[in-house]
Structure 1
Amino acid sequence: MTTAIEMPRVQECVVAACAYNNAGDCHAYAITIGSMDHAHCHTFVESPVRGGMESLIAQVGACQRSDCQHNEQLECHAPSIRVGPDNDLADCMTYVGR
């Protein structure tokens, strides 16, 4: 069995409408980034119910944007990421095309 390396943290999320957001911190265990046309946060959910674990800050679990310079084998290797509005309400603002 192999051990997972530490994943990049979500340094900041400015999407206040997300149920995992609390004061700019994402409290999902891990998030998934990527759509066919942009770097959307697939973990975003708008709900009156608050989600996640207050004691942790989210990490990037998977990134489907293989065209990002931080992506290697569908894993994010940026030191950390920011989530906010770009093409959509919740996108990876750290995305940089190759």
Structure 2
Amino acid sequence: MTASMERPRVQECVVAACAYNRTGDCHAFAITIGSSDHAHCHTFIRMPESGGVDTLVAQVGACQRADCRHNSRLECHAPGIRVGPDNDLADCMTYDRR
């Protein structure tokens, strides 16, 4: 059995259209960040019903942006992240190119 590590939390999400967002908090268990061209939140989904778990605040499960200074071996090591609009509706605003 492998022990899980504490992952960076989504400290703020201003993408109100996401089904996992309630009052600025992301309630997905974990999110994935990254695309070949920008730091998109791949967990973003627009649906009429709410998703996630009310008692959880999302963590960063994986980051595909190897060019981010917070990324090591495709894992985010920032203290926490913010999600909001940049190149599209839901991007990692903490992304910082090396």
TM-score range, shorter chain: over 0.9
Which residues of 2 match residues 70-85 of structure 1 at below 5 A? 70-85=70-85
The yes-or-no answer on 1:44 pairing with 2:44 is: yes
Which residues of 2 match residues 2-81 of structure 1 at below 5 A? 2-81=2-81
TM-score norm. by structure 1 comes to 0.98
Count of equivalent residues: 98
Unaligned runs of 5+ in 2: none
Q: Provide the rounded CA distance (Å) in 1 between the counterparts of 2:41 and 2:80.
A: 14
SS of 1:12's partner is strand
TM-score norm. by structure 2 comes to 0.98
CA RMSD of superposed structures (Å): 0.5
Deviation at 1:4, TM superposition (A): 1.7
Unaligned runs of 5+ in 1: none
Structure 1 residue runs of 4+, over 3 Å off?
A: none
